[in-house]
A and B are shown apart, each in its own frame.
Chain A
Amino acid sequence: MRMIRGRNVYAVFLKQANDILKNTAVLILFAVYPVIAFVMTKSIPEQSVFFVSLFGTMHAIFTPLMATSSIIAEEKEKNTLRVLILSNVTPLEYLLSIGTFVFICTNVSAFLFAAMAGFSGMDYLCFVLAMMLGSICSIILGASLGTFSKNQMSASATSMPLGMVFSFLPMLASFNTSVKSVSRFTFGQQISNLLASPRLSTFTAEPFIIIGANLLIIAAVFLYAYRKKGLDG
């Protein structure tokens, strides 16, 4: 296996940062849930933890999934990824750059979400770490979908419903016990639970086991997608 060259990761990361500023669709994606959460917590302050956990879950699950799959699929569609790989940027370097970029963009708002809910100290840290954990799962899932897709259109067609399932199930589960019994096995529900109550003293092993199992499945899906399709088409 070839070494990861920091120069290549840095180059693609900077390109992505530059490109995202001109890509309104993806830019809005990163801002929409923090803005909604801000408006709702200001409008109904007594429900701020509920709103923050609700929109925080959507932000940590839906946004990175959509962004990662969209970025990769666009690069495949427009042949820019092929040019990068022919310039000796390895698929791993590329994925690391895009993953790191989406991770940072998503989790900058994690600090804002935690502040909106009024968390402090360890609760604040646990909240941010839970969001980061959720975004890692979603980034890998998004990378799988982007790898599978030929173009942005097909990437959106698959990542949109999947993102909604993982990020909206926790909300639906709060209204329906049948949904809850299914939803508890998804990483989205577990992340939502951790965000709603980010207290170290109340943490049990269950959410981490379920998230870990989800992560393993998602990683396996990614490896399958990568072997089946590859990144350079």
Chain B
Amino acid sequence: MKTANTVNRTHKTTAAKETDTAIEMSSISKIFGSKTVLKEVSLSINRGEIFGLLGPSGAGKTTLLKILTGQIPPASGSSSLFGTDSQKRSDEICSSIGMVLDNSGLYCRLNCYDNLMLFARIFNVKKERICEVLQQVKLSEDAKTPVNQLSKGMTQRLVLARAILHKPRLLFLDEPTSGLDPHTAEEIHSLIFLLRDEGATVFLTTHNMEEATKLCDNVALLNEGIIVEYGRPEEICRKHNSQNIVTILCKDGTVVSFSNHSTSADTISTYFKEDRVAAIHSSEPNLETVFIAVTGRTLT
């Protein structure tokens, strides 16, 4: 059934969907006290994609992530990871997923290597893999540094290293670059792309729309527990491009706008031929503007 809050983006046959779907959510609701945090959320996320759950603080992102990782049960509805009920914390599920939570959960007196060693033992991973992931997150030289002496960016990279240590098929990242400087955030982005290229599915929550636009294959905008928009970031922006105009900033400082239509092509071409164009912009809104337009709320 397709409800107002249901998005079914899979255009394949049911049989194909079973094998291609990494995460399946069906009518998930969650209530805390008298407050309904999630309302009938249904989504399907394919394997190998980077999916972004976007929304302001308190929208229900972390609650949904907690339900998917089996930390809390939903009030109603169901969710599955690779076809297995996500509420059942089986060995298979645990070894399939890696998590970067809102809190690092690292042992601050232990060094980077020892922190990873604990999880290598739990997941039965060879010691060589620890060096491999430390290298991957560029922490090889700090392997023996205690966690309480690491910077925030290094700590976040170590958390990511712990999450990918056992080569999970699915990664949950809760605000992975929150509070990080642009350079470190960029490094984390590169790692996320690398993991996707290696075949992992990435589910990330963020309220950074720029990051989501850059990273995600698909995004869902969550507001007050309801998915208000879903799709590819550029498609969403295009869909909400109500002005649909092209603006040219001329070298002499003047700004001219044209309808984004074939009828404007000749005029725009003239500007280029006369070498008057300093910059050209389309009027597509960014995800943040779309979110504000759809919900009337800001993203803080």
* Residue ranges of A at the interface with B (Cβ–Cβ < 8 Å): 7-8, 10-12, 14-15, 18-19, 22-23, 78-80, 82-84, 86-89, 232
Contacts and interface: CB of A to CB of B under 8 A. Distances in A.
B101 interface: yes
A196 to B, nearest CB: 38
B94 interface: yes
20 contacts: A8-B122, A10-B121, A11-B118, A11-B122, A15-B110, A15-B118, A19-B109, A79-B103, A79-B104, A79-B105, A80-B105, A80-B106, A83-B101, A83-B162, A84-B122, A86-B69, A87-B94, A88-B91, A88-B95, A232-B71
Provide the main secondary structure of the chain A interface: helix
Contacts of B106: 80
A82 B105 contact: yes
Contacts of B105: 78-80, 82-83
Interface residues of B, number: 27
B108 interface: yes
Nearest to A80: B105
A73 to B, nearest CB: 15
Interface in B79-126: 89, 91, 94-95, 99, 101, 103-110, 114, 117-119, 121-124
Contacts of B123: 87
Nearest to A93: B122
Nearest to A83: B105
A87 B122 contact: yes
B10 to A, nearest CB: 28
Contacts of A83: 99, 101, 105, 162
Contacts of A80: 105-107
Given A88-B122, A232-B71, 7 more contacts: A15-B118, A78-B107, A79-B104, A79-B105, A82-B105, A87-B122, A88-B89
Contacts of A15: 107, 110, 114, 117-118
